[in-house]
Amino acid sequence: MATAQTNGHVLHVDQTQFNQVVLQSDVPVLVDFYADWCGPCRALAPALKELAKEVPDAKVVKVNVDDNQELAVRYRINAIPALMVFNGGRITAQHAGLANVSQLKAMLAQ
């Protein structure tokens, strides 16, 4: 099971962990909805890892939409990568497609 602190790592979360790790988090959480077969999703991975190291007061989480279709439907994921920032259980920022570390930091600041 995923831990509450990321310690500079990107967490992989499934639907059984999502409420606890994302919605009940006391820090902002950037969620990357992705799939293993998605080229742009793989291209985004280094920026997510860098963000997790540079922003210790937030979590970076990945949710595989193929394995967690309920979450993909709940959050209306139509294209991937789809990025959402959750703060206090609410979506505070969204972005579709590739993003660099600066863009990801700006999303967390919203």
Question: Residue 95 and residue 82: Cα distance in Å, rounded?
Answer: 6
Question: Residue 23 and residue 1: Cα distance in Å, rounded?
Answer: 16
Q: How many C-beta neighbours within 10 Å does residue 81 have? A: 24
Q: Which of 38, 45, 93, 101 is catalytic?
A: 38
**Token output for 32:** 């990357």
Alpha helices in 1-110 (DSSP H): 15-18, 39-54, 69-74, 101-109
41 is annotated as an active-site residue: yes
Q: Which of 2, 11, 41, 84 is catalytic?
A: 41
100 is annotated as an active-site residue: no
- Residues recognised as catalytic: 38, 41
